[in-house]
Structure 1
Amino acid sequence: MNRHAAREKAFQVLFQLDMNDKQPEQAMNDYLESLEIDPFLKDLVEGVAENKQALDATISDHLENWTISRIASVERTVLRIAVYEINQKEDVPVNVSINEAVEIANLYGDEKSGKFVNGVLSKIKE
């Protein structure tokens, strides 16, 4: 599985975790069923789940006229993954994390999701 596919699957698992009360390992097994769990995907899911409060605090610090609770679940999940990557994955260039996040937001969110995600992540990157 390439990293783009792993990010997309991680988004799907984390989105489900945001909606349901499950452990990350259980959510990955339930969602991915027969697929072997990619190490990068596992790191993203477990890292975001374990650091959710810190990630939300970082996101909140860079919001203007918004609160983390007002952000739609799609955008919130995408932002958490990207901020985790930016802060924890030194082997991933920041611009790659941002571009991937915008792509996923455009795919799963509405027409404004990508721009919103890009704007927040651009402020975090500074």
Structure 2
Amino acid sequence: MNRRQAREKAIQALFQMDVGAVGAEEALANVTEGGRSDGFLEQLVKTTAEHLDRIDETIKKYLINWTFDRLANVDKAILRLAVCELLYFDDIPVKVTLNEAIELAKTFGDDDSHRFTNGVLAKIAAAEGLAK
């Protein structure tokens, strides 16, 4: 599984955790259909789950004219994954995280999701001193 595929599966797992109220292990088992998992996928999902409060607070801080509760569940999952990468995965360049999140938003979100995702993440990266 390449990193793009791992991110796609991670979005699906985070979505299940949020909407279906399942734990990280169960969500990972569901998205891998009980098959062999991937270390990067597991790391993404477990790190996001472990730091969810800080990740959500970071997202909330940079939403303008929008509340966290109004976010579509898939957009929330994409933002959570990307903010997790920005804050906790120093080996991934910021540009890569932003580009991957935008592509995920194009795949899973609605017509405006990728622009919204780009705007929020660009603000976070700049304000948190992450833009490189």
Q: TM-score range by the shorter chain?
A: over 0.9
Equivalent residue number for residue 68 of structure 1? 68
For residues 21 and 79 of structure 1, the distance between their equivalents in structure 2, rounded to whole angstroms, comes to 18
Aligned partner of 1:52: which letter? L
Aligned residues: 126
TM-align CA RMSD = 0.9
Deviation string 1:28-59 (CA, Å, 9 cap, x unpaired) is 11231243110110011111112111111000
Equivalent residue number for residue 53 of structure 1? 53
Matches for 1:1-126 after TM superposition, within 5 Å: 1-126=1-126
Matched-pair identity in %: 45
Deviation string 1:78-125 (CA, Å, 9 cap, x unpaired) is 000000000110110001001000100111111100000000000001
- Structure 2: runs of 5 or more not aligned: 127-132
Q: Give SS of 2:65's match.
A: coil
Aligned partner of 2:96: which letter? V
Moved more, 97-106 or 30-39: 30-39
Shift of 1:71: 0.8
For residues 31 and 103 of structure 1, the distance between their equivalents in structure 2, rounded to whole angstroms, comes to 19
- Structure 1: runs of 5 or more not aligned: none
